[in-house]
């Protein structure tokens, strides 16, 4: 994928995520790995529902800006960590929904999802008769340290699902391309919302 196509995919994903209420204010960030290996990513401080291609920039595989004076998202290193770890990842989306924020604040080290039809959107089985444990990590403003925690987690669980939660902060999901990543995000957000509603009704 070339930069113009990557930027267009990022703009469209931002509009979709905004329409769902998953990127309030300037929250969230979105990226695509180009065919060159460079990463197209949202600039810092942009509203994802109002993105233009000019608000998408390039970084290298280590997160360094390739555009003088341009500042990428603060969490760019987390995108780079995903691309470095998972060679098939072509796009990463990060959002802040009510469901993922509330549930991650209540959870321990993971949220277990089972019996949902939309689990088929994640690796692990062709039917709903499976279970997925979505990791939950404590929030940390030291992004390199948070990435080291993720690397340690992935070393222990190489078959972990393509998504994780940061406590009280948001969710990261990735896929082979932007369409795949957004579809996985929609599936996960639906299941998290169901999980939240089930907990409310059980009280």
pLDDT tens digits for range 32-56: 999 889 999 999 889 999 999 999 9
- How many CB atoms lie under 10 A from the CB of residue 156? 8
Question: Does the annotation flag 96 for ligand binding?
Answer: yes
Number of domains observed in the structure of the chain:
1
pLDDT value for 125: 57
pTM: 0.93
- How many CB atoms lie under 10 A from the CB of residue 46? 20
What would the 3-class secondary structure string for the chain be?
CCHHHHHHHHHHHHHHHHHCCCCCCCCCEEEEECCCCCEEEEECCCCHHHCCHHHEEEECCCCCECCCCCCECCCHHHHHHHHHHCCCCCEEEEECCHHHHHHHHHCCCEEEEECCHHHHHCCCCCCCCCEEEEEEECCCCCHHHHHHHHHHHHHHCCCCCCEEEECCCEEEEEECCHHHHHHHHHHHHHHHHHHHHHHHHCC
Question: Does the annotation flag 94 for ligand binding?
Answer: yes
Closest CA to 164 of 183, 144, 139: 139
| Cα 15 versus chain centre, distance | 15
pLDDT above 60 for 88: yes
pLDDT digits (tens, 9 = 90+) for 11-30: 999 999 999 999 999 899 99
Range of the domain at 30: 3-201
The residue that leads in pLDDT, 91 or 68, is 91
Residue 15's CATH number: 3.40.225.10
Pairwise CA distance, residues 46 & 8, whole Å: 15
């Amino acid at each position: 994928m070339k930069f113009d196509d990557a930027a267009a995919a990022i703009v469209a994903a931002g509009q979709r995520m905004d329409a769902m209420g998953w990127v309030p204010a300037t929250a969230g960030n979105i990226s695509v790995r180009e065919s060159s290996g460079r990463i197209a990513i949202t600039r810092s401080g942009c509203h994802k529902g109002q993105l233009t291609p000019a608000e998408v920039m390039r970084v290298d595989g280590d997160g360094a800006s390739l555009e003088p004076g341009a500042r990428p998202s603060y969490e760019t290193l987390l995108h780079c960590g995903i691309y470095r770890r998972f060679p098939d990842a072509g796009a990463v989306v990060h959002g802040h929904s009510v469901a993922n924020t509330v549930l991650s604040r209540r959870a321990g080290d993971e949220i277990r999802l089972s019996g949902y039809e939309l689990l088929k959107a994640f690796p692990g089985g062709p039917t709903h008769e499976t279970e997925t444990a979505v990791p939950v990590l404590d929030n940390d403003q030291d992004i390199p340290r948070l990435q080291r925690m993720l690397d340690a987690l992935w070393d222990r669980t190489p078959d972990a699902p393509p998504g994780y939660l940061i406590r009280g902060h948001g969710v990261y999901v990735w896929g082979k391309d932007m369409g795949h990543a957004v579809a996985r995000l929609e599936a996960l957000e639906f299941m998290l919302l169901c999980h939240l509603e089930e907990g409310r009704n059980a009280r």
